[in-house]
Structure 1
Amino acid sequence: MKFVTFLVAVVAFAGHAVAQHSHGSMKGPNGGPMQDVAGVHAELLVSGKVLTINLLDEDNKPVSAKGFSGTLLVVSGGSRETVPLAVSGVSSLKGEAKNAVPAGANVSLVLKSVAGKSGQAKF
């Protein structure tokens, strides 16, 4: 019985991993790192304390952010902060950290689309 549970878990996670492929070092149209998540391209831009996720389609054209929601986890050294995102403009989600985000910080995105798709990406 344990083997069957393990096998089901492996297949479920493998399918999820294949569905979201990474662009690796691919840059978005605004110069930020970009990952596939929840059926869209997500480009991360950081300016001081402000974190922006631009939503793009496969042709790197803006996608409406209406109905999307998400959070970012910013980790730097021993510091961890969860930053909620809100729709800002037509195709962006924005959030503000308590302090400026240092270069080299690890940022993880959890995103949910208007269609109910959800996923995670690391920048």
Structure 2
Amino acid sequence: MPTRRLILAALCLAPGVALAHLPAGARGPNGGQVQDIGSYHAELVLRGNDILVFVFDHNERPVPVAGATAQAILLANGRQATVPLTPMEGNLLRGTGDLSEARGVRAVVTLSLPGQRTAQARFTPLDPA
């Protein structure tokens, strides 16, 4: 009988765990679009000319990006620009690009964390704030 109760308890908790997971394309905690990037989540935020990428695990906990290499390829107004992203504090990667007149921005972010395989995520459409 204890096994049945344990299974029942696990099944009751499962929906709560599923609700904590942000689906691809959802708005993240910083207001940007979230996409799966390898075994993580990436949230892309365009703020002024800043390109910000926040990296989270699938439980929405920040993943440290020290030592990571990353870039964003931005497509807007018929132009393409490759922007290197620099690891900042915590789970933040940052780059700068000319987004002053860009609308309908599409982006491909490539991320390589130390000891991990390189992964990509596509973000579309995004408008700078």
TM superposition shift of 1:78:
1.8
Give runs of ≥4 in structure 1 deviating > 4 Å.
Answer: none
Residue pairs, 1:45-56, within 5 angstroms: 45-56=45-56
Q: Does structure 2 retain, via aligned residues, the 8 Å contact 1:38–1:113?
A: no
Q: Does structure 2 retain, via aligned residues, the 8 Å contact 1:45–1:52?
A: yes
Secondary structure of residue in 1 paired with 2:59: coil
TM-score by length of 2: 0.72
Structure 1 gap ranges (5+): 1-22
Q: Does structure 2 retain, via aligned residues, the 8 Å contact 1:48–1:101?
A: no
TM superposition shift of 1:99:
4.2
Q: For residues 73-93 of structure 1, what are the alpha-carbon distances to aligned partners after superposition, in whole Å with 9 as ceiling and x for unaligned?
A: 111122110000001111100
Instruction: Supply the distance in 2 between the matched residues of 1:95 and 1:112 (Cα, whole angstroms).
Output: 15
TM-score by length of 1: 0.75
**Cross-structure match for 2:20:** none
The answer to whether the aligner puts 1:102 opposite 2:117 as a matched pair is no
Rg (Cα) greater in structure: 2
TM superposition shift of 1:102:
2.1
CA RMSD of aligned residues (A): 1.8
Percent of residue pairs identical: 28
